[in-house]
Amino acid sequence: MKHFHYIFTGTGLAALMTVYKMVHSGKFKDKSILLLDEDPKKTNDRTWCFWEKENSIWEAVVSKKWDSALFANEDFCRNLVLQPYQYKMIQGLDFYNLVFEQLSKENNITFLNEKVTNINELENHVYVATENNSFTCDQVFNSVYNKIAVTNQTKFPLLQQHFIGWKIKTEEAVFNVQQATFMDFSVAQKGNTRFMYVLPTSKTEALLEYTLFSPKLLTTAEYEDAIKEYIEKLGITNYEIIEKEQGSIPMTCYPFWKKNSKRVINIGTAGGWTKASTGYTFKNSDKTSSRLVEFIQQQTDFRKFHRKNKFWFYDLLLLDILDRKNELGASIFSSMFKKGNPSLIFKFLDEETSLIEDIQVILKCPKLLFIKALFRSGRYL
């Protein structure tokens, strides 16, 4: 049975970010690393967006960036000047190719296209099994999401950010290529938090996603009918669908870190790396993976990795409100963006604000809703 220093069970965003940074650090050349995943990562299966002030190590695969974004609901539209931020987009396949091209050059890294079936932590090592093989290692980075553990608990609210997106090409120039539509709540809410998200890559091409923050998924037809209606609303009559994508991201403050053990750490969605109040994953994973790479150079006990901060509590209050009254999402986000400073809001969502700045953002929100949620918060602590 072959032994490795590190095994990554699942090669999603968080795992690939982490191992890529391990390589670039130059500190792990003497460590054997195994990556296991049944998905070979050969398709353009998702799109990640994020905002940042300066270029990161991922700049080479940024396919589009915008200096302006649109926020809208049924009553108003606001053009958001994002400076000093830019809103950026990365295609999944470009990211996978970048990482795997680098990993293929490393003699100490192995990738096997196999499904993980068992992880068993023993006293001095961890046993990992796939459908075809078994291995041992010193430590495991697990990104296989345990859906049952989260859905079966009732203490912490659980919503989903779920969506279907169409990348379309139109006959006429209809899109403003300089501006992304960040959230458009003018679509019918139907008792939920629902919005459209538009990422134009040229005057004739854009990705349109119909997105919900709600407990339950819809039928495919419901998402696609809403996209068709929105396309008609934009005055587009002739177009072709180039690609489709869909996803469902858990939004919860469930304490995933409590499942970490000395030798096994849960990462990515499985570790609660997704920003609970928005479903944004890329930036949070980027930050957390960097901290993890630093951590494993100094520590061997994964139970010491997690840090709870004030933003976990802020997210909890919003999720508590949306869990009880899901239809209020549009009014809450609209109150933030109608008159709020866009760069301050993005800084807040990036969890980089001071307490005074937190208060400036929070005071834009409906106060009574959050005061009531604050009084209920004791049940989660």
107-119 residue pLDDT tens: 999 999 999 999 9
**Pair 193, 218: CB distance under 8 Å:** no
Q: What is the CATH number of the domain that holds 35?
A: 3.50.50.60
The domain boundary, picked from 250, 273, 292, lies at: 250
pTM recorded for the entire structure: 0.93
Helix (H) or strand (E) holding 18: helix 13-25
Q: In this structure, are 184 and 235 located in the same domain?
A: yes
Task: Give the C-alpha distances (Å, rounded to integers) separating 38 from 19, 69, 91.
Answer: 18, 37, 20
- Examine residue 81 and state whether it is found in any structural domain, yes or no: no
Confidence at residue 377, expressed as pLDDT on a 0 to 100 scale: 80
Number of domain units in the chain: 3
Which positions ≥6 away from 169 have C-beta within 8 Å? Answer: 204, 205, 239, 240, 242
Print the domain residue range for 193: 158-250
- Examine residue 78 and state whether it is found in any structural domain, yes or no: no
Name the average pLDDT for the chain. Answer: 94
The domain boundary, picked from 250, 269, 293, lies at: 250
- Examine residue 117 and state whether it is found in any structural domain, yes or no: yes
The domain boundary, picked from 270, 288, 304, lies at: 304
HSE value, Cβ hemisphere, 13 Å, CA-based, for 117: 8
Q: What is the CATH number of the domain that holds 176?
A: 3.30.70
Residues of the chain with pLDDT under 70: none
- Examine residue 273 and state whether it is found in any structural domain, yes or no: yes
Confidence at residue 59, expressed as pLDDT on a 0 to 100 scale: 97
Confidence at residue 375, expressed as pLDDT on a 0 to 100 scale: 84
**Pair 25, 158: CB distance under 8 Å:** no
- Examine residue 340 and state whether it is found in any structural domain, yes or no: yes
Confidence at residue 327, expressed as pLDDT on a 0 to 100 scale: 95
Rounded to the nearest 5 degrees, what angle is found at the Cα of 313, between the Cα atoms of 89 and 145?
55
Strands 264-266 and 134-142: parallel
- Examine residue 281 and state whether it is found in any structural domain, yes or no: yes
Nearest to 346 by CA among 90, 162, 63, 81: 81
